[in-house]
Structure 1
Amino acid sequence: MRISDLSAATGCHVETIRYYEKIGLIPVPPRKNSYRNYDDGDVAHLAFVMRCRGLGFSLDETRSLMDLSVARDRSCRDVDAVVRNHLAQVEAKQKELAAMAEDLRAMLDDCAHETIANCNVVRTLSG
């Protein structure tokens, strides 16, 4: 299958597929008639990458998980460590976002809905 078919099968943009190949996240397939020739293994490989990225894993974390996924005799603890680290980052980000939401609610609560010249939100943002 060609790159456009791989894109359609996975929902990944052609440019992103080429980028992932360039950085070595997915292998560059052999060429047939000067076109990249992808197979079902490439679909599965890219789908794995897309699921990782959809969960917010970094490119490096995704690469680690890919490498671990083919090391069948390694301990699952290695995968768990990557996931636990990422989960800790997600939970820390959730706390940051909750604090931001609280600040935004406070600004809106102070809004008197007057003119911009008297806007408490603009004053707060201006420092």
Structure 2
Amino acid sequence: MALSIGELSKATNTKVETIRYYERIGLLPKPARTSGNYRAYGDGELGRLSFIRRSRDLGFSLDQVRALLRLSDDRSCDCAGIDRIAREHLLEVDRKLADLTAMRRELKSVIDSCDGGVVADCRIIEALAPEPIA
């Protein structure tokens, strides 16, 4: 099966420019070319791009994706390295969730302190800029 870049784009819900970018940075191999010099992708590229896309959707960085791909290319390799990368990413997600929860709590507190009225007495503006805005 040979897919054009547009077909690969649609099949993986990935923008054409993103596919080209992944090729430039080495996440995707340079594809074969047709006699008309168009890119021709096969099942391997489709699978690899789907893997990249899903990894990115889960928030893995490009460096993490690169490491996951390198590890997954050796099918006989122990999966401890993959597990380590995934666990480190989960810790980062947990840290971000904690930060967002704290941010939400603070924002809700600021909003709840507002009694309405005029801007001059607005508790939200006061909390955001303790000094008068010029």
CA offset at residue 56 of structure 1? Answer: 0.1
Q: Of the candidates 80, 83, 95, which is equivalent to residue 86 of structure 2?
A: 83
Looking at structure 1, the residues matched to 81 and 91 of structure 2 have their Cα atoms a distance apart, in angstroms, of: 16
Paired residues, number: 127
Amino-acid identity (%): 43
CA offset at residue 117 of structure 1? Answer: 2.0
The answer to whether 1:50 aligns with 2:41 is no
Q: How does 1:28-43 map to 2 (within 5 A)?
A: 28-32=30-34, 33-43=36-46
Q: Which runs of no fewer than 5 residues in structure 1 stay unpaired? A: none
TM-score (norm 2): 0.92
Greater radius of gyration (CA): 2
CA offset at residue 72 of structure 1? Answer: 1.4
- Provide, for residues 32-72 of structure 1, a one-character-per-residue CA deviation record: whole Å limited to 9, x for no partner: 11111111111111000001000000000001111111111
CA offset at residue 90 of structure 1? Answer: 0.5
Q: Which runs of no fewer than 5 residues in structure 2 stay unpaired? A: none
Give 2:110's aligned residue: 107
TM-score (norm 1): 0.96
- Which consecutive aligned stretches of 4+ in structure 1 deviate over 2 angstroms post-superposition? none
Aligned alpha-carbon RMSD (Å): 0.8
